[in-house]
Amino acid sequence: MSEDDELHFTDFVHARSPALLRTAFLLTADSHLAQDLLQTALVKTWRTWRNVRRQDSPDAYVRRVMVTTATSWWRRKWRGERPAQSLPDTGAHDGELESIGARRALIAALAQLPPRQRAVVVLRYYEDLPEQQVAALLGTSVGNVKSQASRGLSKLRADGALDDWAPQRHRVLQRAHDGQE
């Protein structure tokens, strides 16, 4: 890899890692696994950076790698460590407790979705990507994206844990990765 390619990759990683890490977190519902997912995706991207750099959107390529990698991890027979039923005390201030509870509810609800639906919901509504771009990222049709999004949103609506935070939905989605529980 040329020095110019290395410089561009380093700049890309510094500029886009926070946003990509938030996406990875929403795909995995685990901060440590999200970091692993992003690192794995960046290593895979590094290997082909010369070609990726020439594409219109390197972000889209990395997101695609994250989705396929997360899906392959999910399909493994042994899924590694499992989260505990109870979480340690977060030490939050009273004003932050409602937001923390809403983020936990969102992450728990997303974790209940099948990987493909979770990927569609995260890419479509959290990343705010158009249906065509989500379809291209996932290598599927726009109709499939629409049906997966519809099914995923129906499951999220059916989850009673999300009813309490509906008025704060946008703020919670924006800060879903901040102050990880």
- Closest by CA to 135, choosing from 74, 60, 28, 48, is 60
Claim to verify: residue 162 and residue 115 sit in the same structural domain = yes
Claim to verify: residue 52 and residue 110 sit in the same structural domain = no
Mean pLDDT, rounded, for 21-39? 92
Give me the pLDDT at residue 91, please.
Answer: 58
Q: What are phi and psi of 122, to 5 degrees?
A: -65, -50
- The domain boundary, picked from 30, 46, 75, lies at 75
| Domain contains 17 | yes
| Domain contains 80 | no
Claim to verify: residue 13 and residue 71 sit in the same structural domain = yes
| Domain contains 165 | yes
Tell me the whole-structure pTM to 2 decimals.
Answer: 0.55
Claim to verify: residue 107 and residue 147 sit in the same structural domain = yes
- pLDDT tens-place string over residues 35-58: 999 999 999 999 888 888 787 788
- Closest by CA to 118, choosing from 20, 29, 33, is 29
Mean pLDDT, rounded, for 89-113? 71
Claim to verify: residue 108 and residue 58 sit in the same structural domain = no
Give me the pLDDT at residue 180, please.
Answer: 41
Claim to verify: residue 57 and residue 99 sit in the same structural domain = no
| Other CB atoms within 10 Å distance of the CB of residue 102 | 23
Give me the pLDDT at residue 77, please.
Answer: 55
Query: pLDDT band at 78, cuts 50/70/90?
Result: low
- Which residues span the domain enclosing 32? 3-75
- The domain boundary, picked from 75, 102, 126, lies at 75
Helical packing angle, 58-75 and 3-28, nearest 10°? 50
- pLDDT tens-place string over residues 119-178: 998 899 888 899 999 999 889 999 999 999 999 888 888 876 566 655 555 454 444 444
Claim to verify: residue 71 and residue 98 sit in the same structural domain = no
Domain count, the chain: 2
The CATH code of the domain that includes 170 is 1.10.10.10
**Contact (CB, 8 A) for 172 and 165:** yes
Claim to verify: residue 70 and residue 99 sit in the same structural domain = no
Claim to verify: residue 103 and residue 169 sit in the same structural domain = yes
**Contact (CB, 8 A) for 126 and 176:** yes
| Domain contains 83 | no
